[in-house]
Amino acid sequence: MRSLIDWLMNSRRVSAPTNRRAGETPALQGHWVYNGKMTARFICSCEIKLSMTAVSNGNPAIVRTERGFTIAGTRITLYDVMDYITANYPPKLIREKLALTDEQVHAALSYIQAHRTEVEAEYQTVLKTAEEIRQYWEARNRERFAQIEAAPPKPGQEALRAKLEEWKARLKSKL
């Protein structure tokens, strides 16, 4: 969080606030420039607030954000780590897959072990929500998938479609 504040303090905004009506908050529109390079475009209709919902829990490496328990300085949640733990990945592979340091992996694993029931309960909630979302979109797109499947092949793709069917048949025969 400190580096973001430093970046904003050392950068400058290019372009002035857009027009506004009486009594309205000015709507800002422009670009942030840092070291002479345009790095991000912003459009907002209110003042910029630098607030990240981070709640300390006694372990500075793990913070609670709006996304849940997160490894400090990353966007990786403990639920991402839990996915790999439940798949029986060793810590070394978890570190490589999530691009974490040894200290971050150790902090995450020790936090999970120390607060197993709380993290596991939230993890189950996350899995349930993800499954509900998946089922919603699957049901919503079922009709569209059927239309796509029933559509005739595009002209000129017959050879490609034949190769695909041959590949599918070969895979089925191996099972």
Cβ atoms 27, 45 nearer than 8 A: yes
Q: pLDDT tens across 17-69, in order?
A: 444 444 444 444 444 444 444 444 444 333 333 334 444 455 688 999 888 89
What pLDDT is recorded for position 80? 94
- SS3 letters for 151-175? CCCCCCCHHHHHHHHHHHHHHHHHC
What pLDDT is recorded for position 153? 75
Distance separating alpha carbons of residues 153 and 33, to the nearest angstrom: 49
Q: What is the DSSP letter of 18?
A: P
Give pTM, 2 decimals.
0.53
Buried b or exposed e, range 8-30, using 16+ CB within 10 angstroms = eeeeeeeeeeeeeeeeeeeebeb
What pLDDT is recorded for position 16? 38
Cβ atoms 126, 79 nearer than 8 A: yes
| CB-CB neighbours of 123 under 10 Å | 21
Distance separating alpha carbons of residues 142 and 158, to the nearest angstrom: 25
Tell me what the mean pLDDT of segment 110-127 comes to.
Answer: 93
Cβ atoms 88, 115 nearer than 8 A: no
